[in-house]
């Protein structure tokens, strides 16, 4: 039996092509990035529960790992945000798509009992919006 505690997830990191655009998108979802984060190549925002959301400019990653290439294609990363109600899912989807973000899946009542929708962040990562139907 191993007495060493299991490692704990510390952060979710995203390689982004435009930090300012990504900070603006995630701020619309209520993530509190520090003032001035738009100009930084590496930014962190603490989420409830202590987990961090970390955004790193692709150019910064290449500076310390020159062979690194950003992933291609979709579906590599998805984040999900629980909303307060089905109406909140609809309103947030409309706000984000109205601001020009790609709506991948319009809000719908999923068979598993949630109002569900998907938008893409500026780098094409799927961001799910969900709320219990009842």
Round the CA-based radius of gyration of the chain to a whole number and report it: 17
Is the pLDDT confidence value at 45 over 80?
A: yes
Q: 10 Å Cβ neighbour count for 120?
A: 17
pLDDT in tens, 26-36: 999 999 999 99
Q: pLDDT tens digit string along 70-122?
A: 777 766 677 899 999 999 999 999 999 999 999 999 999 999 999 999 999 99
Distance CA 100, CA 102 (A): 6
Residues 27-46, mean pLDDT to the nearest whole number: 95
Which domains, ranges and CATH numbers included, belong to the chain? 9-67 (3.10.180.10), 78-134 (3.10.180.10)
| The model's pTM | 0.85
Residue 43 scores a pLDDT above 70: yes
Q: Are 16 and 22 in contact (CB under 8 A)?
A: yes
Mean model confidence pLDDT for the chain: 90
């Amino acid at each position: 039996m191993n007495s060493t505690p299991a490692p704990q997830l510390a952060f979710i990191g995203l390689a982004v092509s435009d930090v300012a655009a990504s900070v603006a998108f995630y701020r619309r979802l209520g993530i509190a990035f520090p003032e001035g984060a738009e100009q930084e190549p590496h930014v962190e925002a603490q989420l409830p529960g202590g987990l961090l959301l970390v955004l790193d400019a692709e150019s910064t990653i290449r500076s310390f790992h020159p062979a690194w290439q950003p992933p291609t294609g979709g579906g590599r990363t998805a984040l999900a945000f629980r909303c307060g109600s089905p109406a909140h899912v609809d309103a947030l989807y409309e706000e984000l798509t109205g601001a020009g973000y790609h709506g991948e899946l319009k809000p719908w009542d999923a068979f598993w009992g949630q109002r569900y929708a998907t938008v893409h962040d500026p780098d094409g990562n799927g961001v799910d919006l969900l709320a219990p139907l009842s």
